[in-house]
Amino acid sequence: MSRDKTFQQTQRIAAILSLVGMMAAWLSACDRFSAPTATPYPTCIPSYPSNIYNPTQTPSALTPALPFPTPVNTPPIQPLLTAKQSALRELMDHVERWTNIITIPVGETSSARIAITLLSPELVWTVSVIDKMDASLNNPYMYMEAAEHLQKIAASNSFLFFMTIFPVGSGGADGISHTIQIDAGQLTLVNARGLAIKPVSYDHNLNYRFPSSQTTYGYLYFPISVDTESGCKPVLDGTFDTKLVFQLSEVLIDETPTGPYSWMIQYTYLLNSENIHHDRAGWMPPPDGDILANNFPPTSAEINDDFWKEYAEFIWGKTTP
């Protein structure tokens, strides 16, 4: 074989190997950032049933009766709970029901939790009522005021979510300072039809780089309906969307990308039941005077009843004046 032909063959092999390397890198990047591309659908006015915050869509939450409904699996001591203790139990149930938490490593020995909570009509109703109870158990307008809160949220034509980023335990266990940063605007909600939706608005403090030993929190607003090629369609359908799936391509730890990450919240069940109460046998709410809104997230490394009490009180503290 001539020297020229050998040189040309070597060049072709090198080009093929280079192309294979480029394709491998591209496939690796696609595997790393697997969140679907969100289409910037314009929002549109939802049909009345699509807006879950419309008061007539939540009759169970708007029943003006005290105490709160007693769960079927409640131990015998539960009927002796005060109205405020029952309201705390109800709030804990709704917060646990509508929250998903992931834990991510920060450094070699530290971790942080990122929680996403749907502020459902029942949760908003319950936190409003317990806040009014805290001011006065004899407020005759507490139910009307709770309904007004729902109407104000309904007017935004948005699903309202609450995101919290907080350390596990005391944080910074390895004695080294770390930072966390996310891009909340890139958080994507994927529905059962494959539509990938980004928030229409969010609290921009969620985007800041902050020490991992601190806590940040804020609201995320996702549209209730978007204008697609098939017309104005609800983002979430009560029949087909059984799960709320969120995807985020990366979280920056010390300015280094990690991820991707995902969250999943059960939205509807195949066999739907209004009994969302959890088995808290053996757990007793504190006395009324110790049931307070909280400015600090849970510090427990274990997610148990005490954790959900602290997180419910934290959401109460951050969603009321």
Note the pLDDT tens digit of each residue in 6-54.
445 555 544 544 443 444 443 343 333 445 566 678 899 888 888 999 8
In whole angstroms, give the CA distance from residue 87 to residue 166: 25
Per-range mean pLDDT, top range of 2-6, 169-173, 214-218, 229-233: 214-218
Per-range mean pLDDT, top range of 1-15, 44-58, 118-132: 118-132
Average pLDDT over residues 272-287: 78
Nearest-5° Cα angle at 118, 179 to 156? 105
Pick 276 or 17 by higher pLDDT: 276
Q: What are phi and psi of 60, to 5 degrees?
A: -65, -35
Tokens of 251: 């979280």
Cβ pair 196, 272 in contact under 8 A: no
User: pLDDT at residue 271 above 80?
Assistant: no
Residue pLDDT, tens place only, 224-242: 999 988 889 899 987 889 9
Cβ pair 219, 227 in contact under 8 A: no
User: pLDDT at residue 58 above 50?
Assistant: no
Average pLDDT, whole number, for the chain? 81
User: Tokens 């007017």 appear where?
Assistant: 155
pLDDT for the residue 136: 83
Lowest average pLDDT, out of 48-57, 256-265, 282-291, goes to 48-57
**% of the chain residues with pLDDT over 90:** 54
Average pLDDT over residues 128-154: 86
Helices (H), 136-232: 142-154
**% of the chain residues with pLDDT over 70:** 76
Find, among 319, 318, 294, the residue nearest to 307 by Cα: 294
Contacts of 230 (CB under 8 A, 6+ apart): none
Find, among 149, 167, 114, the residue nearest to 300 by Cα: 167
Residue pLDDT, tens place only, 60-97: 433 333 344 444 444 444 458 899 999 999 999 999 99
Helices (H), 60-120: 83-97
Tokens of 32: 């790393």
